[in-house]
Chains A and B, each alone.
Chain A
């Protein structure tokens, strides 16, 4: 009986309410991990990078150091998202011993040659999108909400809309389809989350650009949460200091 009442309550939720609940999900204060990113083009050729990552504030501040490929060891990347102004992105080029700012004005630009754009990596602002609940669906034994997310003009998005499958139990995304401005399917993303302590933390992201037939697979390892990452770490000078672990 309780289940029936709960499901009726949930059924009456709007898309926006579900999105708000997803946004309110408990997040760790900080995350540390290593990531292996494998890019594959339509001819099956691959490029692999290994990175160390630190982030706080739900990824709004993020620092990444490259460990592999060997020629790029030490290249580092710092991103700081601001609520009311453009994000800051800086990059350390060890071979040139220079820090360079990167343009972030083009939200549709690809990140590191991957199928993820800065827009894909930025948290969605609830006020800049319309959320529409479509239906419930069971996918791979997961009970999901299916939402249609349509960016408003002020969001300056490269997409016309997204269809997002959110696992009811954990309120984490399971899959997302993104459609280009002409309404054609552009990307299919799938996510694997892992429960660490009380948090659901991302373990794997797979993206396929169906138009270019290009894929990106990012696997996160050695994930640690709430280890007390200092906010001062997210400073330009720390780009040059590749952490040992």
Chain B
């Protein structure tokens, strides 16, 4: 950093401190205004909780909501599809299929009582009430259950398309008739009744573009109203995604609570000064609010979905809190050390800023570089994450470099306090460590490298997992519901095969049948459905219900006649989710239970290969559905993880090279990071932590945060090298000087531990791994980097 720039910062923060505080607070307020809409909604939430229903309805009218939505605000989103770039072939196919057939991802409500048959008048009456109430919900396109289904029957040559459940209240004979009909068509029954007939399923097809959380709330409300006597289970992508926004917000608030608690405790224990803790917290809070406000502004001004707040972003506030704390910790620690020596506040802060402005700038710049590397990741929302956190870090740097010294100089410090006169516990340990690191340098180096090499083996065992149902803890209500749906019902994951061709032609239909049978034969597939099933059912019905005619007719005229016959008493809308209006495009839908990501990849690949081998010019096919999207997400996750590692390490290398003017320093600055990344992924492989679109962000965080330690070390090394008398004491002095803030920084990063309390499993993993990463990067800096620097001190200290 040029001296003139350094001088400008020192002048603004120390000589114009009041003005600097005002300007920084004012600019932060402008950024924070990006949260105005959210603040109004938070008031509404609080008001509705505190006030009576009548009073809150008077205050928080629809005009209030409208006004709040017009103000800048960030958006909590749960749509997994937005993770994939809009140009991805899989996303395009998915959207095309939605346009043609409506949504293929269903929500499910299953209810019943274990070991008690659902085939009784009372249960079917409840099913009727729930199904018809759901049909009235404006977010719902179609409801499929015993109560809404149509049946095809033949009675003396009379083709009747009628309601399977003709009325709410049914006689026992009528109920038995429904059961008989479903037993005749097990493929249909499997979709709507559980294996032991004790639960009944309602499949809900949502409209396109609706808010899943509204649908989810209405599903729960309606079920609660009519199904109090039954065990209720919910499932399906719309339900899970609809649950996410509230869960994410609750999770973020809980995590922040824990994060704040942990950070305050750590800072208080180490600084032993209320003023120091308050100052660091001032920086954290202002940086956090500014960052979230920035997100609101970007979404409001650009409408970019990349900046929506998703499960991926849940870690963001904790990440920024800990990063923002780091600079403050370094400045205050150095300030206390200088104050101990100088006994003069202004002198101490001037020396501190002179020494730390460059490393604080450099660490912020490299951390920003690491987070900006996420822009190159194929997962769309990593872009928003990277840019937003980068802005937060930049703001935290500005606050630490201008606002913090300006406030420090205004504060009346008690020079006799223990915080200033006495070394802390960590400082004493670090001093001892500094002596030993030089003494046992080779042993420590061999041991450290050995640990890294052993961990590297673990990388081979890493598995990628993007099944969002596994993001919920086993035993949680949502996970139990999903597990129930997978075990007892048809499963909740869909794979859909779009078939294009003349779908009245038996040749095309036969090929479609072969594909469907292949999909059906997979052990994880619970149920499949296509227009072929309907045609076969129609054929059987008009041929006097003879089961041997449950086949595709041999001529297209027959197929056409069947459709025409159906249209005389049914409506062709009944098939709108299976075939298009012109009989040119059909859809095979399959529902699956528990399936691991590895099996997903194999299954999608096998299906694609099988389709290629049997199809000819008669039909063209595309595969889509949640499974295919998840398969694509797996590739994106892997690409994202590796891209962010490569780009961030390269950028940090470049920045270090430019600032330290030596390739060797640049190499040394990334050495602890590479070791930490290897250790992290190795540990993930060894301990069975899956790589997901949530944990893929880890490498950027580790590199972004971990780089601070090596940069502080190198800066201090270079500074000390200029003044030290003997090279023999150089490393020891550097470790003593910078070791404490590095360890304190790493300890204060234990705020990441708050993530262990998340309701989402991958975020818990992030918490655990980040704690490990902070320990490994700081230890790697004070061992591998320190020892390598000690071994190469002659080369490093010569110009």
Contacts and interface: CB of A to CB of B under 8 A. Distances in A.
B342 interface: no
A96 B158 contact: no
Interface stretch (B357-365, B464-472, B557-565, B614-622): B557-565
Contact of A71 (B158, B560, B572): B560
A70 to B, nearest CB: 9
B172 interface: no
Interface in A79-128: 89, 91, 93-96, 98-106, 109-113
Interface residues of A, number: 32
B567 interface: yes
Contacts of A72: 557, 560-561, 564
Given A41-B581, A47-B581, A91-B565, A100 B159 contact: yes
A79 to B, nearest CB: 10
A56 interface: no
Contacts of B565: 91, 93, 100, 102
A75 B557 CA distance: 10
A101 B158 contact: yes
A69 interface: yes
Nearest to A41: B581
A110 B571 CA distance: 6
A113 B566 CA distance: 9
A100 B569 contact: no
Contacts of A112: 564, 567-568
Nearest to A66: B564
A154 interface: no
A98 B159 CA distance: 12
Interface in B559-617: 559-561, 564-565, 567-573, 580-582
Contacts of A69: 560
B556 interface: yes
Contact of A95 (B160, B561, B572, B581): B561
Which of A93, A95, A102, A111 has the most CB atoms of chain B within a 10 A radius of its CB? A95
Nearest to A212: B573
Which of A46, A66, A96, A102 has the most CB atoms of chain B within a 10 A radius of its CB? A96
Contacts of B162: 103, 105-106
Contacts of B570: 109-110
A43 B581 contact: yes
Contact of A109 (B504, B555, B561, B571): B571
Contact of A96 (B542, B568, B572, B573): B542
Contacts of B71: none
A231 to B, nearest CB: 23
Contacts of B161: 103, 106, 109
B152 to A, nearest CB: 11
Contact of B568 (A45, A46, A47, A91): A91
Contacts of B581: 41, 43, 45-47
Nearest to B567: A113
Contacts of B157: 99-101
A102 B573 contact: no
Contacts of B553: 95
Interface string A124-168: 000000000000000000000000000000000000000000000
A98 B564 contact: no
Contact of A103 (B160, B559, B571, B582): B160
B212 to A, nearest CB: 23
Given A109-B569, A109-B570, A93 B159 contact: no
A105 B561 CA distance: 22
A77 interface: yes
Nearest to B504: A71
Nearest to A92: B561
A45 B582 CA distance: 7
Contact of B572 (A66, A98, A106, A113): A113
B454 to A, nearest CB: 60
Interface string B71-111: 00000000000000000000000000001000000000000
Interface of A: 41, 43, 45-47, 66, 69, 71-72, 75, 77, 89, 91, 93-96, 98-106, 109-113, 212
15 contacts: A47-B581, A71-B504, A71-B556, A71-B557, A71-B560, A72-B560, A72-B561, A100-B159, A102-B568, A102-B569, A103-B161, A106-B569, A112-B564, A113-B571, A212-B573
Interface of B: 99, 156-162, 504, 542-543, 553, 555-561, 564-565, 567-573, 580-582
